[in-house]
Chains A and B, each alone.
Chain A
């Protein structure tokens, strides 16, 4: 059985890999735009999730994602068979 997906932890790892950022205080209600990453870094980060999870987030969904939890919910909708950390 596949392990539970923890979007907050994945986000921290992604921010480090694409933008060399440490985000120890990241929570699921963190507003992504408030992290001060530019649009290129943000799209690289989205791509990190897509690659790791084998999912494609539709472009028009992206503009509606505000917080890390929104991102988690969007991915969870796209991957109904996987388990997600709260």
Chain B
């Protein structure tokens, strides 16, 4: 299997394919970097890194928002077998302190010797650098673009089991975990994506277009490394430009004759909301082969609304491509076949919640709609397992498990977390779902992580904030998500004897917003003692969520039916695992 570095090394003379950076030379002026030039640019960075004393295996932290600076620096580190650590830049209003804390905690795990950033971002990073003892040097991305004094180094001869880069998960977590992506797992996943998933062939004249951040797996592996491996050209829209003006995404697909793009669910909602009929009529999206959707739970309504709104642009319904993946699998685990429109499974909600079975719905029953996420790539396998690791039959709901050459070798210097992530050679995804004739359906998350707009949140962290609100007792709140129109939304249930529930709610919204910049969609205040608890007196998240969704929340004494026994058993074990994980994370 040929890896990323040998592929880049073979790009000498490739002047027509390459990367385009929208607006990088000024408003309306794009920058094109051919793969030939990209190879040279990466080599130059590698020479600068060598001059800075970096050796194979050393970590290089990258906080570089601009793709035209980020990509050569990232590939330049990989070129010599150094380990780049891509990180998100500070981009939101007034969250500098929280950003710095997260940065310090990640980098004190990764222990990079060098931090690469831009002159502008560097100005705000100095206060954090002093708190990261491993950092010997800060280099600006601009200085790395200069011609180095020494010779350009040859590509390192890298083994498949060497680490290519570390991928830290995007949410704010107390003890960050860095997924080790090896050169072997990276090549396996990229090949799965371009050859089996996207079926890239020279005659398709594919152009991949993305606004996804490059420090995120979908942007980096899906749109930098996979296109390079294919090889096809790719076009990058600055993430912030897209967020500020979502129509830029479709506009760029139109203008650059794009055929492939990917985004999380929320982006499709945003694009639908922002696009004006006049623009849609002007756009030609008929070339688009793939509108991929993944990285957060897929809401079929969002994708249907998008297809309907964009119909005048010539968008083909079969271009919609739900997929399933996670950083621990490098990126992608399963893709829907290219020639099919989005397919969903309508299952009986009662049987799903009650006895963990995904039964196609019969007349009149309450329906759960679950998106079909397709099949794993050749050489990879997905199974559904119960708590004891027994493989479950089709349409039985359990934990989705994955194995194959794309799977990570574990978390950076964290054998305990690595051990917990695997069982009998299977990666435990922490996601809940089922299989039907080899096709994967993801129905929820077992893991105690809440995903909102593509970012991960630990509910415990939010619950602690709620607990600190005046008027709330410790351990009397539960945070969970409900499906929202665009992304999952945060719901807080809290036990309190509130004289003035409205002002209590406002204080909680303000506290959570201020600390985490997270929007609380709903707050339920119930009398003390009415939320479901475990035998040891801990509140049960999963059960509370169920009660919230079926409207029985706060009505104590409910929920004793034997039909719910299986769900309760599952809920208890999830809570148990969540608590175990929290104990591990916070050492208490």
Contacts and interface: CB of A to CB of B under 8 A. Distances in A.
B513 A34 contact: yes
A46 B92 CA distance: 10
Contact of A32 (B94, B96, B121, B515): B94
A10 B553 CA distance: 39
10 contacts: A31-B514, A33-B95, A33-B513, A36-B509, A36-B518, A42-B93, A43-B243, A59-B89, A60-B124, A63-B92
A70 B452 contact: no
Given A44-B243, A50-B244, A60-B120, A39 B94 contact: no
Given A40-B453, A43-B243, A47-B245, A32 B520 contact: no
Contacts of A37: 513, 517, 519
Interface string A48-83: 001000000011101111110011000000000000
A3 interface: no
Interface string B506-539: 0001111111011110000000000000000000
A62 B510 contact: no
Contacts of A32: 93-94
B94 A36 contact: no
Interface of B: 65, 89-96, 99, 120-121, 123-124, 240, 243-245, 266, 270, 452-453, 455, 509-515, 517-520
A32 to B, nearest CB: 5
Contact of B99 (A41, A47, A63, A71): A63
Nearest to A48: B244
Interface string A1-36: 000000000000000000000000000000111111
A46 B241 CA distance: 11
A37 B240 CA distance: 17
Contact of B92 (A39, A50, A67): A39
A43 B99 contact: no
B453 A66 contact: no
A66 B512 contact: no
Contacts of B121: 60
Given A41-B519, A60-B120, A62-B92, A36 B240 contact: no
Given A43-B240, A58-B120, A63-B91, A36 B99 contact: no
A79 B92 CA distance: 22
Interface residues of A, number: 28
Contacts of A42: 92-93, 517
A65 B515 CA distance: 15
A63 B94 contact: yes
Q: Most chain-A CB neighbours within 10 Å: which of B89, B243, B270, B518?
A: B243
B124 A33 contact: no
A64 B285 CA distance: 39
Contacts of A71: 93
Given A32-B93, A39-B455, 20 more contacts: A31-B94, A32-B94, A33-B95, A34-B514, A35-B510, A36-B510, A37-B517, A37-B519, A39-B517, A40-B270, A43-B91, A46-B93, A47-B244, A59-B91, A59-B240, A63-B95, A63-B96, A63-B124, A64-B96, A65-B93
B265 to A, nearest CB: 12
Contacts of B509: 36
Nearest to A30: B510
Contacts of B510: 34-36
Contacts of B93: 32-33, 42, 46, 62-63, 65-66, 71
A40 B243 contact: yes
